[in-house]
Chain A
Amino acid sequence: ETGVTQTPRHLVMGMTNKKSLKCEQHLGHNAMYWYKQSAKKPLELMFVYNFKEQTENNSVPSRFSPECPNSSHLFLHLHTLQPEDSALYLCASSQAVAWRTNTGELFFGEGSRLTVL
């Protein structure tokens, strides 16, 4: 138990569906992240939120839409996805202020395994 919870753990969707992934952290952190991990590829950073503000969008297609309503919750809205978007989507959180002393350990959830048919 890392203190970061992702739901659903598994999701199968068609290319025309709209779905959302949810992430919740119970650690009091103020930075949250979405990473994508495709088969046999390194983790790819998608989005970063610091204090609910998006501070990084790593050239992610617009069919992925993040939302951060507060420091504890992060969503990834999905629409008109492609089969190549099938992957493990990982959420993480950290205490952003701690980066200044470089002790900003990232805590990851177990991921949401997405399959696009």
Chain B
Amino acid sequence: DAKTTQPNSMESNEEEPVHLPCNHSTISGTDYIHWYRQLPSQGPEYVIHGLTSNVNNRMASLAIAEDRKSSTLILHRATLRDAAVYYCILRDRNSGNTPLVFGKGTRLSVIA
């Protein structure tokens, strides 16, 4: 699976939008972009995923660049509960049942 690059840490004020960037310049045409997050003392949880078009769900939005070499996870109104490590992961749709490979992610701090 292709590699992703994320900032080590970011900080946001509560109730403000947060844009978490991810670079994946070597993405292939069959790679999906997945985001997971890990809250303190918990296992990771799925946030969102997409291929080419922007995606929205109840947790977040995913904005994908036109050339697909970067993407941004958007939390529309950060809450204290959103403080977590966010992982951007590429997953080849043709790679069968191989599991997710996690990088270091971005540690998001939310300030009240």
Contact = CB atoms under 8 A, between A and B. Distances in A.
Nearest to A41: B104
Contacts, number: 60
Give the secondary structure class of B's interface: loop
Interface in B77-106: 91-93, 95-105
Interface size class of A (residues with CB under 8 A): 20 to 34
Interface string A27-63: 0000101010000001101001010000110000000
Given A42-B102, A106-B100, A110-B41, 16 more contacts: A4-B43, A35-B102, A45-B101, A56-B98, A90-B43, A91-B43, A94-B99, A99-B98, A100-B93, A100-B96, A101-B93, A102-B91, A102-B93, A104-B97, A107-B46, A108-B43
Interface of A: 2, 4, 31, 33, 35, 42-43, 45, 48, 50, 55-56, 90-92, 94, 96, 99-111
